[in-house]
Chains A and B, each alone.
Chain A
Amino acid sequence: MATNTVPAPEQPRTLVGKAALEVDDRLPIAGWLRRTMNKVFPDHWSFLLGEIALYAFVVLLLSGTYLTFFFDASMREVVYEGSYAPLRGVDVSAAYDSTLALSFDVRGGLFIRQMHHWAALLFVAAICVHLLRIFFTGAFRRPRETNWFIGVALLVLAMLEGFAGYTLPDDLLSGTGLRIFSAVFLSIPVIGTWVYFTVFGGDFPGELIIGRLYILHVLIIPAIILALIALHLTVLIKQKHTQFPGAGRTEHNVVGNRLFPTFAGKATALFFIVFAVCAALGGLVQINPIWLIGPYNPAQVSAGSQPDWYIGFVDGGSRIFPPWEIELWGYHIPPVLWGALGLPGVMFTVMALYPIIERKLTGDTASHHLLQRPRDVPVRTGLGAMALTAYIVLWISGGNDVIAEKFDISLNAMTWFGRIGFILLPPIAYWITYRICLGLQRHDREVLEHGIETGVIRRLPNGEFIEVHQPLGPVDDHGHGVLSYGGASVPKKMNQVGGARRAIKGFFRPIEEPAEVQRQAEREARGLEAEEASRELTRSGRPAEGGRPSAGGRPREPRD
């Protein structure tokens, strides 16, 4: 009868096994699941930076959903009658009123609200650190330009999302921020007033803007962010991870842990740790105390009115930009345009186009899956340091009044520091970074050529004192190492090559290197031959291999 069915010699006997079979019968998933679980992830801490941002976003979604149950995004005027006495009887908007209510009259509401705000700050911060890692290691190069571009878009969207959220409580601080935002719209040439009236539905602030920002904040922008994150990860999985150069690592493989269970365990752990940091900050450190700030009133303002940190550089740009207003035939282009719109606009455009710019400048159109050490690309590293310096100057200028007040510096001097520093410091940062990169490169070459400084001083028969160097690999007739630089980290201390016999538990090291050394030490202790597998891993002639004292490489002295 059953001629075409395969007789299964081992049918699952356990309940779980049977259930799994039932599922796979209906939804053939086993193959996909195995491929996913077998996916190899590189094991280096810097690959987890993007995950911090991802998990912060998850915390934002969870806590934000909670907040929507209580928040009323309306600018309707009400009289506050809640439990916070110093505001009782004050005219406030429904948005402000409901934010106060969810802070003080909802059990745990303040905690969730603060967790949401901290997670937002963390989200953008993690994106920035992740972006810096990608930039400085050249991970944006072909074929990953698309993902770089998506990442930049995510950063911009995260900032807009954060700004919208910052504005929603309609307190004095965020209202002031919104007013500045309105001035930025107004400053756009030709269509500025139209944009301004369209955004606010009339003159500032109108009665619509909180509702509009709300739908942007809880639906439109998060949906776009979510879609882009999905795309970002899909592209990542399709293209597979980059990795740092090292033993056995090539452009055509990925060395690390399989997703299941090692990487999945660590990723889950990281989610809980990110969640823990948001929760702890949310409860232990007060953020945006809108009851102290007060409701928005266009005639009131507080000293030290600042946006959240990620908009700080825009504010800084507006603060230090000189009073240059272009006026032609009664048409005005105010300075706000350049400081608050032009500067970020140029910044993000250059950032988004950087992979293309670099490709044009270097003529390097090849695909790259191995990362570069920042020192090996001094121009890019210098440019990055330059951009970072300019950003930090703007950022400091964004808080220059608080800095002036706390450190007793003249406010005007701080403004001038920003103006001059923005022009002067980036080139200096470029030059210094460039020189540091070259210095580090030279030291790498020196160690490869002459070996590691052992700290052992020997006196030669002719009375000359020399320091004994440990070569990293085979040497030529002159005692110079013949290894060439392979883009990987060069060991510079004896214990990194097993010279100290026990691997240091490298806190800042990728996991394979000490493991290899430690395994070797264990094997030696047991008097066993090295395994074939380890030969496989290290055969590509990367500098981590060879020269190990155990491999017969006794410390040698250079001839010259």
Chain B
Amino acid sequence: MSTTDHRPGSTGGADVPGPLHGGPDDDYTPQQLAAMDRTELDRLGARYDAVEVLHVDPVPEPGSPLERKAARQVTLWFAIAALSAVAFLVVYAGSNWFLPDWSWEPGDSGWSALFTPLLGATMGLSLLAIGVGLVLYVKKLLPHETAVQDKHDGSHFDRVTTGATLVGAWHNSGLPRRKLLGGTLAFMGAAMGVMLIAPLGGLIKNPNKGNPLGTTPWADGLRLLRDDGTPVRPGDQVPGSLETVFPAIPGGNSVHHSDAAVMLIRLRPDQMETLVTPAGQEDFGYGDYLAYSKICTHAGCPVSLYEQETSRILCPCHQSQFDVTQGARPVFGPATRSLPQLPIRVDEEGYFVARSDFREPVGPSFWNMGRLN
């Protein structure tokens, strides 16, 4: 704010600023303000912000037993916070230095199993103590005041003047008259908006290319392999058993073929007596062996909670229940379709192979599943 500058680019003392701020600066001269004490100034400022301090509960007298007690309490909590923080650092940095190793291995139940709990306890205590100390500070050592602040609705003056500016600009732009320009602007805005988001179209993938939803890797002659890659023979399973098998292709048991898992079930003789095969699937099984898709037709979880006495397969996600002696028909829960059955036979070497892919889409239902070819 120097007025003695006469260097080029400066107007020197001729450039006189307008009134400094107006408002309170006009109401109160610096001299008047200087005559006020701190509390008065505080209340004055508050009044300008529409705040009235109604009442102040005094703090305990400095030096009084009450004050000393409160101060001791607050100090104690902050001390706890500090010590806990130090304890955290000791545990964190000291492990594997002067304390035992922090790195946990299965079977450890000593220091390394306590490392994380100790970190949590020390950090938690430290932060909690800061919080408690602060609350006590505010409650016991700061004056508690009750203030009231006025609430103002929107200003009529502001609304009218702002509105005038906006509407004036709108009229000055001439857009209400220039219909063609206005229409073009709207079209331009829409087209530009679509243009800007259009590159996201690269995300879109066609679900109908090659029928990925209606097919799985299973095919005629493909062996049923266990998760360790060994094929299955009819003699391998005992009645009342279930085994998860995968198609004999690379990555058959992996996330790359999430629809491929099949449950190979061998029924007990009494289950065979009540076996009802759905029409068209009479020859899908092999003797007392049946193979069903493991993927739930409700939401795609792997069903496989096989209850061999009740012949039910339960899905652990939404509790759909399927009866394996009735073509894996849903008998309870939200599932609506039977688990697709995989037609199986035994190849010339005596191992189970698929006869074809599933005859219907595997997994959850979708819009056009009945229209896939």
Footprint of B on A, CB under 8 Å? 1-10, 34-35, 38-40, 75, 77, 83-86, 91, 93, 104-105, 107-108, 110-111, 114-115, 176, 179-180, 182-184, 186-194, 196-198, 201-205, 240, 248, 251-258, 261-262, 265-266, 268-273, 275-277, 279-284, 296-305, 315, 318-325, 327, 329-336, 339-340, 367, 369, 400-401, 411-412, 415, 511-512, 515, 519, 531, 533-534, 536-537
Contacts and interface: CB of A to CB of B under 8 A. Distances in A.
B207 interface: yes
B124 A184 contact: no
B336 A323 contact: yes
A186 B49 CA distance: 57
Given A6-B20, A276-B131, A305-B316, A186 B146 contact: no
Interface in B1-22: 1, 3-4, 13, 16-17, 20
Interface stretch (B147-155, B179-187, B340-348): B147-155
B137 interface: yes
B261 A336 contact: no
B333 interface: yes
Contacts of B366: 186-187, 192-193, 196, 332, 334
A73 B145 CA distance: 52
Nearest to B303: A301
Contacts of A201: 203, 205
A269 B135 contact: yes
Nearest to B227: A299
B200 to A, nearest CB: 9
A282 B120 contact: yes
21 contacts: A9-B31, A9-B34, A38-B45, A39-B49, A111-B123, A179-B258, A179-B300, A201-B205, A252-B151, A258-B147, A262-B142, A269-B130, A272-B130, A297-B254, A323-B333, A332-B368, A333-B367, A335-B336, A336-B299, A515-B144, A534-B54
Given A86-B106, A332-B367, A534-B55, A203 B137 contact: no
- Determine which residue in A104, A186, A191, A519 has the highest number of CB atoms from chain B within 10 A of its CB, and name it: A186
A344 B130 CA distance: 40
A182 B144 CA distance: 56
Contact of A533 (B16, B55, B330): B55
B164 interface: no
Listed from nearest, the 7 A-B pairs whose CB atoms lie closest are A283-B120, A280-B124, A330-B370, A276-B127, A272-B131, A269-B134, A299-B261
Contacts of A190: 367
Interface in B289-309: 294-295, 298-302, 304-305
Contact of A318 (B126, B142, B207, B334): B334
Interface stretch (B63-71, B111-119, B169-177, B229-237): B111-119
A193 B368 contact: yes
A240 B152 CA distance: 9
Nearest to B253: A299
A196 B334 contact: no
A83 B151 contact: no
A194 B270 CA distance: 46
A162 B347 CA distance: 49
B146 A537 contact: yes
Given A254-B148, A323-B336, A515-B146, 15 more contacts: A34-B49, A39-B49, A180-B317, A182-B364, A197-B206, A197-B207, A262-B144, A272-B134, A297-B255, A305-B317, A318-B298, A334-B366, A401-B319, A411-B319, A533-B54
B255 A192 contact: no
Contacts of B314: 411
Nearest to A272: B131
Interface of B: 1, 3-4, 13, 16-17, 20, 30-31, 34, 45-46, 48-49, 51, 53-55, 57, 92, 95, 102-106, 116-121, 123-128, 130-135, 137-138, 142, 144-151, 153, 203-208, 212-213, 227, 244, 246, 253-255, 257-261, 294-295, 298-302, 304-305, 314, 316-320, 330, 332-337, 363-371
A188 B119 contact: no
Nearest to A273: B131
- Determine which residue in B17, B48, B49, B314 has the highest number of CB atoms from chain A within 10 A of its CB, and name it: B49
A283 B121 contact: yes
B89 to A, nearest CB: 11
Given A84-B106, A305-B317, A332-B367, A193 B208 contact: yes
- Determine which residue in B31, B121, B127, B363 has the highest number of CB atoms from chain A within 10 A of its CB, and name it: B127
A256 B147 contact: yes
A415 B333 contact: yes
B370 A272 contact: no
Contacts of A401: 316, 319
Contact of A272 (B20, B128, B213): B128
A305 B300 CA distance: 13
Given A182-B300, A255-B147, A38 B46 contact: yes
Contact of A299 (B120, B130, B294, B332): B294
A27 B21 CA distance: 14
A319 to B, nearest CB: 5
B151 A253 contact: yes
B10 to A, nearest CB: 15
A240 B318 CA distance: 46
B317 A301 contact: yes
Contacts of B102: 107
Contacts of A512: 146
B103 A105 contact: yes
Contacts of A5: 1, 3
A180 B302 CA distance: 11
Contact of B334 (A299, A302, A321): A321
Contacts of A257: 144-147
A198 B201 CA distance: 9
A531 B117 CA distance: 54
A35 B117 CA distance: 44
Contacts of B55: 519, 531, 533-534, 537
A73 to B, nearest CB: 15
A108 B92 contact: yes
Given A281-B120, A282-B120, A415-B332, A85 B105 contact: yes
A104 B103 contact: yes
A208 to B, nearest CB: 10
B363 A183 contact: yes
Contacts of A183: 298-300, 363-364
Nearest to B96: A107
Nearest to A333: B367
B138 A261 contact: yes
Contact of B316 (A261, A262, A303, A330): A303
- Determine which residue in A75, A107, A272 has the highest number of CB atoms from chain B within 10 A of its CB, and name it: A272
Contacts of B4: 1
Given A298-B261, A298-B302, A299-B253, A187 B316 contact: no
- Determine which residue in B117, B118, B258, B320 has the highest number of CB atoms from chain A within 10 A of its CB, and name it: B258
A410 to B, nearest CB: 11
Contact of B138 (A265, A281, A339): A265
A126 to B, nearest CB: 16
Contacts of A322: 334
B25 to A, nearest CB: 9
Contacts of A537: 54-55, 146, 148
B124 A276 contact: yes
B253 A193 contact: no
Nearest to B144: A262
A38 B43 CA distance: 10
- Determine which residue in A8, A34, A273, A276 has the highest number of CB atoms from chain B within 10 A of its CB, and name it: A276
Contact of B332 (A281, A304, A412): A412
A108 B119 contact: yes
Nearest to A515: B57
Contacts of A319: 318-319, 333-334
B367 A536 contact: no
A527 B54 CA distance: 21
B64 to A, nearest CB: 15
